[in-house]
């Protein structure tokens, strides 16, 4: 019978594997940018293309990866497909990254005055 320490290690290893998979997906700048946009809500593909500056077919490839990893969900309305973040873990990580790397309007103005 395994000790409670061994069970805990197995749980930690499983969690580390899940976190590693999420971080690998987030390590691509295009996917990170798409998820950053989606933290603001649901968007059709055409709007994600404009907002992110990512062109087809790269946009389709990156959205496919996000969908396959179950980080985003889709909804069809007529001919348009809407994307939104489906993973609560991905959303939580994106919120932390936003706080760390995306300055508020006031911080951006302050930084510009220093230049």
Question: What is the per-residue pLDDT across 37-85, written as a single tens digit (0 to 9) for each?
Answer: 999 999 999 999 999 999 999 999 999 999 999 999 999 999 999 999 9
The domain ranges of the chain are: 13-101
pLDDT of residue 115: 56
CA distance 43 to 109: 28
- Work out the mean pLDDT of the chain and round it to a whole number: 89
> CB of 18 within 8 A of CB of 87?
no
Query: Could you tell me which CATH number the domain at 13-101 has?
Result: 1.10.10.10
Q: What is the pTM of this model?
A: 0.81
Q: Which of 6-10, 27-31, 83-87, 90-94 has the lowest mean pLDDT?
A: 6-10
DSSP H helices in 1-115:
4-26, 29-38, 45-52, 58-68, 88-101, 105-114
Q: How far is CA 94 from the centre of its chain?
A: 6
Which helix (H) or strand (E) element contains residue 30? helix 29-38
DSSP assignment letter at 74: E
Question: Which phi and psi angles does 78 have, rounded to 5°?
Answer: 65, -125
Model confidence at 110, in pLDDT bands (50, 70, 90)? low
């Amino acid at each position: 019978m395994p000790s409670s320490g061994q069970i805990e290690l197995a749980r930690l290893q499983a969690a580390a594997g899940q976190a590693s998979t999420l971080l690998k997906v987030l390590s691509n700048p295009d996917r990170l940018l798409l998820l950053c946009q989606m933290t603001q809500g649901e968007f059709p593909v055409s709007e994600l293309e404009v907002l992110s500056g990512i062109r087809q077919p790269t946009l389709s490839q990156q959205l496919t990866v996000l969908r396959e990893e179950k980080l985003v969900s889709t909804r069809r309305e007529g001919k348009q497909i809407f994307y939104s973040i489906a993973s609560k873990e991905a959303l939580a990580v994106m919120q932390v990254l936003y706080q760390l790397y995306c300055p508020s309007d006031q911080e951006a103005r302050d930084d510009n005055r220093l230049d």
